[in-house]
Every structure is written in C-alpha cells, then in structure tokens.
Amino acid sequence: MEITTSDLGLAARVQHLTKTYGAGEGAVRALDDVSVGIRRGQFTAIMGPSGSGKSTLMHIMAGLDAPTEGRAWIGDTEITGLGDVELTVLRRRRVGFIFQAFNLVPTLDALGNILLPFELDGRRPSAVERARIDGLIETLGLGKRLRHRPHQLSGGQQQRVAIARALATAPDLVFADEPTGNLDSATGREVLQLLAAASRDHGQSIAMVTHDAIAASHADRVLFLGDGRIQADHPRQSAEQIAAYMLAAEVAA
C-alpha cells in the first residue's frame, strides 16, 4: 500500500512535478522534477526570483493548473487527473486562497465574502464553524466592518476579510500569493503576524509565495526555488539570512 500524504505529516505534496510551456525550440520548463511536501500545521514560505517557478508550483498544488508530468495531492486526495468540477468542489471545501490584490467580491459585504465558500456549497455554517468564524472575526478585528462593502474598506481591512474567508472553512491548506504585496509595511506586518498566529495557535497549514525576505521571515520554513527546482529548504530564518541567501543565489546565477 502506498504511503499517504497524512502518514508523512503533510497537508499537500507533489512528486516529480514537471511543467513545460510551449513546445519544441521555444519550450520553457517552469518546473523541473520537483518533489516537495507542505507540512501540516506549518507556515511555509516559497521564495524565489521572477521566473523561478514558484507561482507555477503553487497553482498546481492548489489545483488551479495541471502539471505536464508528475502527481500532486491535497491531503490524501490525488488531484492530478481530477475533473474540473471535482477540483472546484475540492478547492471550495479544502483549500483557502489569499491574493495580493485582496480579491473580494465587490458586490458582497464583508460578511457575505467570508461566508461565500459555505454559500457556494449550498449550506449554512454549522455551530462549530459559526463559532470558528466568530472567533476569526474577533481576532481580525472585523466586528464593526461586517456590513461594509470592499470599496468602503482599507487595503489592510480587505486583506483581513480575505484571510477570514480563507480560514473560515478550516481548509487543509491555505495558499497566500504575495499577501502583503499591496500593503504598507506596518499593515503587511500585521497580516503576516495574523497568518503566523493562525498556524501556531490553530494548526492551520499555510503556504505563502513571496519574494519579500521580511515576509518570509515570519514563516516556520522557507523553500527556495530557482530555475524550476527546489534549491534550498531552510527552517525559520531571519530576514537578513534570507536576503543574504537570495542575493548570493542571484549573484551566482
């Protein structure tokens, strides 16, 4: 019997992942035989320069894109080969997303956005989930903003709503794509502390793609990608250490 993802203590993993764009002479290999797992309950940062393949890796891990070769799992579910509807339902129930551009639905108020994954599933949150959401709203300080539309909220507030939405279903894994990219540094730091706290206090598995060394310094683990491969896998590091590694890698390349 095959070893499952959860046996390994992982929330998601990929095996021998290759992704090629185009064909023939002009083919670009965005990912080159990548095998890696995101540990359950950890806050993992995926770093790398532009074109390193970090976004592609995240897209495939989250079931948003299909690999050219290799396999991917979320929890114990293999997602490579799943149909569009199955993938959609899987994302709805078991994956959370936080984006750089906040990406709230502008026609829904804050609460409507937070509850959207449940509504899409055609159900109301259970008592346990309701308590969880109330806790999130309190932790994120959104209590007074629930009836506001996104355009009435500041960037930091919008990102908090997005975090609440991503965490509301207690997904197997939350993907964050440059979550602080559009925020000022103080607001960005708050957002990162909230993510770190979600992981530390509630065992939420989070994978964050970033090229910001300060953002990555909040993570428990830092993966470095370069040229479509995992170049390094470090435990928690300071921003200086991360920046120094990145600089050295860029100079060497």
Partner 1 sequence: MTAAAVSGTLLETPLTPSRLGWLRDRGMGASVLVATLAAAFGVFLVEVTVYIGAMLKADPEIGESGTLAVVVAILSVLLTGVAMYVAAIVTANTFATIVAGRTRRIALMRLIGASARSQRAEVARQGLVVGMIGAVLGFAAGIGVSAAGAVIGGAVLPHPPASFSLLQPGVVFPVAGVALTTWIAAWAGSRRVLVVTPLQALGGSADRSHEEVAARPGRHVGALILLVGGALLLAVGVVLGLANPLGVVVAFFGGVLSFTGLSIGATLVMPPVLRLVGRLFGSGPTARLAAENALRYPERSSRTAIGVVMGVTLVTMFAVAMESAKALLLRQTTGDDADIYFAPMDAFASVMMVLVAISAVIASVGLVNLLTIGVVQRRRELGLLRAIGLTGRQIRLMVLLEAVHITVAATITGLVLGVAYGWIAAQSLLGSLPVMPDFEPAGLVAPAVPWVPVAAIVAATAVLTLIASVTPTRLATRVAPVEALAAD
Rg of the chain over Cα atoms, rounded to whole angstroms, equals: 18
Query: Which residues make beta-bridge pairs with 20?
Result: 29
| Minimum distance, C-beta of residue 71 to partner 1, in the bound complex (Å) | 20
The span of 29-37, 54-62, 68-76, 125-133 binding partner 1 (CB under 8 A) equals: 54-62
Cβ-based neighbours of 111, under 8 Å, separated by 6 or more: 146, 147
Q: Does 151 bind partner 1 (CB under 8 A)?
A: yes
Report which of 147, 239, 140, 132 is spatially closest to residue 191, judged by C-alpha positions.
140
Q: Which of 161, 178, 195, 213 binds partner 1 (CB under 8 A)?
A: 178
Choices 62-70, 196-204, 223-231, 234-242; region in contact with partner 1 by CB under 8 A: 62-70
Tell me the helices (H) and strands (E) count for the chain, helix number first: 8, 10
Task: Give the binding-site size for partner 1 (rule: CB under 8 A).
Answer: 39
23 binds partner 1 (CB under 8 A): no
Among candidates 201, 236, 230, 193, which has minimal Cα distance to 217?
Answer: 236
Stretch that binds partner 1, among 113-121, 127-135, 189-197, 238-246 (CB under 8 A): 113-121
Minimum Å gap between C-beta 117 and partner 1 is: 6
Residue 25 binds partner 1 (CB under 8 A): no
Stretches 6-14, 15-23, 148-156, 225-233: which one binds partner 1 (CB under 8 A)?
A: 148-156
SS3 9: coil
The minimum distance between CB 106 and partner 1, in angstroms, equals: 3
108 touching partner 1, by CB under 8 A: yes
CB–CB of 184/22 below 8 Å?
no
Q: Which residue has the tokens 């040229």?
A: 227
Q: Rounded to whole angstroms, how far apart are CA atoms 57 and 117?
A: 24
Measure the CA–CA gap between 175 and 165, rounded to whole angstroms.
12
Interface residues with partner 1 (CB under 8 A) are: 50-51, 55, 58-59, 62, 64-65, 84-85, 88-89, 91-93, 97, 99-101, 103, 105-108, 116-117, 119-122, 149-151, 165, 177-178, 181-182, 211
